[in-house]
Amino acid sequence: MTTTLLPMTGSIIFLKLVNKAQPQYTKMEKLFKSISNYINLSNQLKEELRARLHKQSFKKKESVLDSSKVCQNSYFIEKGIMRLYYLKDGKEISEFFCSENEWMNSPRSFMQQKTDFYNIDVVENSVAWRINISDLVYLFDNFPEMERYARMDMGSTFGYVLERVASLRFSTAREKYEHFLKTYPHIYHRIPLGMVASHIGITQETLSRLRKDDLF
């Protein structure tokens, strides 16, 4: 905040307080902290991240990626939840969910730069930092530590894919539901029942009964 002198009629001078808009990059501390958990984040790398990541807000149910398009961006979620899903017989099947401090993209489409059958949408109002694949490749080429970070943290999407595969070994609805709760302990209560049911492969009615049983 700065103080500006404004000349008025006669010799009277009034003081006006002027709030200078803060640069957007000053609000990237949450992202920087997350990255610093895995690698040493140099000032030079910070500056490159500030120049190459862009903040974006999304509304609930907003489409982030359509399966007909190549996934060009990866999103670090600062606030909210995003979902990867596909269509089967006209119905949406939820593959996995990502929330705060996690990266979301369509893994195969993003890495191979080809279309895939996955879509991404927003489960609740969200704020994310977007990075384009070309900018990420630049960071990999010029900052080897970023490639290491990608393997350690940005691979969280692959972790969810593996959990999804692991869930297939469960046979009962109760086992599937309990595995879901263990996979998403921090956000399961924020995801609509229909999305959860499609994810674990049971009807919404069965899921409602399981949740009701847990209350007693």
pLDDT (tens digit per residue) in 80-111: 999 999 999 999 999 999 999 999 999 999 99
28 and 118, same domain (yes or no): yes
175 and 137, same domain (yes or no): no
Q: What domain count does the chain have? A: 2
Average pLDDT over residues 123-152: 94
Query: Rounded to whole angstroms, how far apart are CA atoms 20 and 2?
Result: 7
* Residues of the domain holding 55: 24-166
pLDDT for the residue numbered 71: 97
- The conformation of residue 113, written as its DSSP 8-state character, comes to T
Q: Are 116 and 110 contacting, i.e. CB atoms less than 8 angstroms apart? A: no
Taking the model in full, what pTM does it have?
A: 0.82
Query: Rounded to whole angstroms, how far apart are CA atoms 78 and 80?
Result: 7
Amino acid at 134: S
Burial class of 18 by CB neighbour count within 10 A (0 to 12, 13 to 18, 19+): exposed
Q: Are 82 and 104 contacting, i.e. CB atoms less than 8 angstroms apart? A: yes
174 and 74, same domain (yes or no): no
For the stretch 51-86, pLDDT in tens is 999 999 999 999 999 999 999 999 999 999 999 999
